[in-house]
Amino acid sequence: MTHLEPYGDTTAWLAVLDSSQAEVAEALGLTGGRTVPAPDATGATSGTGLLPPVAGVDGRWTLAVSTGLASISSRRLTALTALLGTRVLLYDTISDPGRRDDVLARAAAESVDPRTLSGEVPGHALLFDDLDEGLPADDPVELPSRTPWLWSKLTRR
């Protein structure tokens, strides 16, 4: 069980309708998550937190919380919507702090008001560390040639 606590200031989050944490994590390309208290998932300064589905407008919403989501493009958001086959909404109180109240009001009307989250919900909050793939290797990676296989198919008649 996860004990939810309000959040919403100076963060960004995705609300995904009627999808599991596993589906949202896969769509976002997140791996290696660990169970953490919900406030740690929503208040992390790095990484992405996933809350278990919570009741909201029109169904249950899985919330992915991360300051990194503030820079998500509309194209990526459209791709996530198509990939998950459901509504995916972005809320960002980082990029324009002057619109914070408008963003939170929109979240309350469309999905879940994160300021009103409280109490226990089934499931666990998960935290995924941001990936740091480092600098690319200096030497190019050589791929095996497929030409011998192709020539064997073309000449074998």
Return the pLDDT at 154: 56
Return d(Cα 128, Cα 138) in angstroms, integer. 29
The pLDDT of residue 16 is above 70: yes
Number of alpha helices (DSSP H) and beta strands (DSSP E) in the chain: 5, 9
Q: pLDDT of 70-121, one tens digit each? A: 888 999 999 999 999 999 999 999 988 889 999 999 999 999 999 999 999 8
Q: Is 47 left (phi over 0), alpha (psi -120 to 50) or beta?
A: left
DSSP state of 8: -
Gap between the Cα atoms of 13 and 91, Å rounded: 5
**Residue 155 banded pLDDT, cuts 50, 70, 90:** low
pLDDT at 134: 42
Sign of CA dihedral 19, 88, 99, 113: negative
pLDDT (tens digit per residue) in 33-66: 999 999 999 988 889 999 999 999 999 999 999 9
pTM value is: 0.80
Nearest residue to 117 via CA among 128, 108, 126, 106: 108
Question: In whole angstroms, what is the distance from residue 62 CA to residue 122 CA?
Answer: 12
What pLDDT is attached to residue 9?
Answer: 85
